[in-house]
Each structure stands twice: as C-alpha cells, then as structure tokens.
Amino acid sequence: DIQMTQSPSSLSASVGDRVTITCRANQSIDIYLNWYQQRPGKAPKLLIYAASSLQSGVPSRFSGSGSGTDFTLTISTVQPEDFATYYCQQTYSTPLTFGGGTKVEIK
C-alpha cells in the first residue's frame, strides 16, 4: 500500500497569512494526488486534483504543486472560512490512501 504522510499535523495561522501543507508518498504517484478541505461536521470538499488543477468553484488562493513523491498545498492569503482540516489522497493505485490530515487553526 502507498503511505501518505502529511506535515504538519496542525498549524496556527492568522487571517492573511500564507499557509503551506506538504504531503509525501512513500513511492512515486506521478501527479495522482488530490487535496480536500473538511470543515467540522461537514463532508470533505475537493480543492485540487491531479496535483495542481483547481477544482471548479474553488478560490484561486488555493494552489497545488508537485509530482512523484512530494506535493504541496498552498493557501496564498488565509481567509476565516479556510480554517479547517486538509487531507491529501493518492489515486495512483488501490487501495487509495489519504494522508493523516492537517488542521489549520486560528492564531
């Protein structure tokens, strides 16, 4: 199984900060990497697919990069509604696996 490791597991940020979350796979997954946002009590929401493609309707302050084993999700200017937990997911091979999540909290 492909293991996905996210870091950090949590972070504190102020509105307007730039936030970067990393996700590492234990083998190459090409660009088969998605990012999701999950607010408390809600279903996850797709933000980024294929490592760097912005899902329709998602604000442009979200961006993704990377290929192979190392990936990054960046929020250029954090807004109040961005405080949530973020997950990466590899879709390269089954079983599909998720990172452990990164909780973004208000400083």
Partner 1 sequence: QVQLVESGGGLVKPGGSLRLSCAASGFTFSGYYMSWIRQAPGKGLEWVSYISGSGSTIYNSDSVRGRFTISRDNAKNSLYLQMETLRAEDTAMYYCVRVDDFWSGRKFDYWGQGTLVIVSS
Q: Taking CB under 8 A as the rule, does residue 37 contact partner 1?
A: no
Task: Determine if 87 is a binding residue for partner 1 (CB under 8 A).
Answer: yes
Is residue 58 a contact residue for partner 1 (CB under 8 A)?
Answer: no
Show the tokens assigned to 71.
């990936």
Q: Tell the residue number behind the tokens 């102020």, with chain if given.
A: 14
Does residue number 36 form part of the binding site for partner 1 (CB under 8 A)? yes
| 76 lies in the binding site for partner 1 (CB under 8 A) | no
- Torsion, Cα 100 55 15 42, to 10 degrees, reads -60
Q: Which of 31, 64, 75, 82 binds partner 1 (CB under 8 A)?
A: 31
32 binds partner 1 (CB under 8 A): yes
* Burial class of residue 79 (count of CB atoms within 10 Å of its CB; 0-12, 13-18, 19+): exposed
| Residue 91 touching partner 1 (CB under 8 A) | yes
d(CA 35, CA 20): 12
CA geometry: angle 44, 49, 53, nearest 5 deg: 130
Rounded to a whole number of angstroms, the minimum distance from the CB of residue 59 to partner 1 is 16
Residues of this chain that interact with partner 1 (CB under 8 A) are 31-32, 34, 36, 43-46, 49-50, 55, 87, 89, 91, 94-101
